[in-house]
Amino acid sequence: MLEIESSATKLFPNLIESIWTLQNKGKEVELITPPDQYINLIFVLNNSTYERDGFLIDTHQIEGISLKNTVLKYPSGTELIGVRFYAYGLYPFVQIQGKELVNNSIHLLLDIEDTKCITKYALGSSQLLIQEVYGLLNGLFSKQSYDTLNFLMDFYKRFRWQEETVSIEEYCKQTDTNYTSLNRNFSRITGIPPKKFERLIKFRKSLCSLMDSNEKLTSIATASGYFDQAHFIREFKTFLNNTPSEYLAMIKQADKESQIINYNFRLF
């Protein structure tokens, strides 16, 4: 049985969305995750391994923003703990170019002594594990790198949480932000330009609405910031290569076959 738990962070809440754990106590599980705008720092515990899009992973990883479906396979006994960062949130801890991470998972290059304190625990000691993760993050944190993120965080918050739909051009006018500078720095740190990020956020909102409500597609499209239903369907197909109706049918079939489709903890 696959158990996934997440909790709000008590450290760096403007950079970290949550701390999560994953444990598989049953047979191998295949899990499909749709595109999302988060970056994950993942620690493998208890000599665990898992597969990501057919590649075996047995080391600590950084997973970047995803613009496509990702297939994950977790064998029996898998134990992981992860830090789920906002799109810009990893940068003060690990200064890596965002383009290296998009649709990708790379080995976390840290001295083995830095992570030994984490890997010595099993998930039965999750609170101790979380404290060790906090200790590692405190040691990696760079105030200088953090100070470069102020205007990126403001932009992210506007498009991540604000209900009112506003274009990037309107945002730049309202906040007296230079669009060229925003585009260059956001792309460098997250790996994708602001306009693509805006599209990803709209898609995630529409996906969660599609799964969690019985609203008609027209209502979902409008609430998610699309011009109309046709625009919504085109964008949905861009990210998932399926129409909303086709994707819902796929989910129902997956349920029948005892597969799991995970919506990144149901958050957009």
Segment 245-263 shows an average pLDDT of 67
> Does 261 fall in a domain?
no
Segment 233-253 shows an average pLDDT of 85
Q: Which of 66, 91, 81, 108 is nearest to 15 (CA)?
A: 91
Asked whether the predicted pLDDT for residue 99 surpasses 70, the reply is yes
Residue 112 and residue 203 share a domain = no
CATH code for the domain of 180: 1.10.10.60
Q: What is the pLDDT of residue 260?
A: 55
Asked whether the predicted pLDDT for residue 151 surpasses 70, the reply is yes
Q: What is the pLDDT of residue 30?
A: 86
Q: What is the pLDDT of residue 144?
A: 95
- How far is it, in rounded angstroms, from Cα 90 to Cα 231? 32
CA 5 to chain centre: 15
Block residue for tokens 């106590």:
25
pLDDT in tens, 172-220: 888 888 889 889 999 999 999 988 988 898 888 888 888 777 778 888 8
Residue 105 and residue 48 share a domain = yes
Q: Which residues pair with residue 26 across a beta bridge?
A: none
For residue 8, the tally of other CB atoms under 10 A from its CB is 9
Residue 135 and residue 177 share a domain = no
DSSP codes, 185-232: HHHHHHSS-HHHHHHHHHHHHHHHHHHH----HHHHHHHTT-SSHHHH
User: What element of type H or E holds 53?
Assistant: none
pLDDT in tens, 153-163: 888 887 765 55
Asked whether the predicted pLDDT for residue 258 surpasses 60, the reply is no
Handedness of CA 98, 101, 107, 112 (dihedral sign): positive
Residue 101 and residue 12 share a domain = yes
Q: What is the pLDDT of residue 257?
A: 60
Q: What is the pLDDT of residue 254?
A: 66
Q: What is the pLDDT of residue 266?
A: 46
CATH code for the domain of 29: 2.60.120
> Does 253 fall in a domain?
no
Segment 238-256 shows an average pLDDT of 80
pLDDT in tens, 211-239: 777 778 888 888 787 888 888 889 889 99
Structural domains in the chain (count): 2
For the chain, percent of residues with pLDDT exceeding 70: 86
- Provide the b/e sequence for 223-240 (b: ≥16 CB within 10 Å): ebbbeebeebbebbeebb
Q: What is the pLDDT of residue 161?
A: 59
Q: What is the pLDDT of residue 255?
A: 62
Q: What is the pLDDT of residue 66?
A: 93
- Domain that residue 118 falls in: 2-142
> Does 130 fall in a domain?
yes
pTM of the model: 0.88
pLDDT in tens, 41-97: 999 988 899 999 999 999 999 999 999 989 999 999 999 999 999 999 999 999 898
Q: What is the pLDDT of residue 248?
A: 78
Contact 104, 52 (CB under 8 A): no
Structure tokens at 204: 């995630």
Torsion of CA 22, 26, 31, 37, to 10 degrees: -10
Block residue for tokens 């690990």:
94
Residue 86 neighbours by CB under 8 Å, 6+ apart: 14, 15, 16, 17, 37, 38, 39, 153, 156, 160
> Does 262 fall in a domain?
no
> Does 82 fall in a domain?
yes
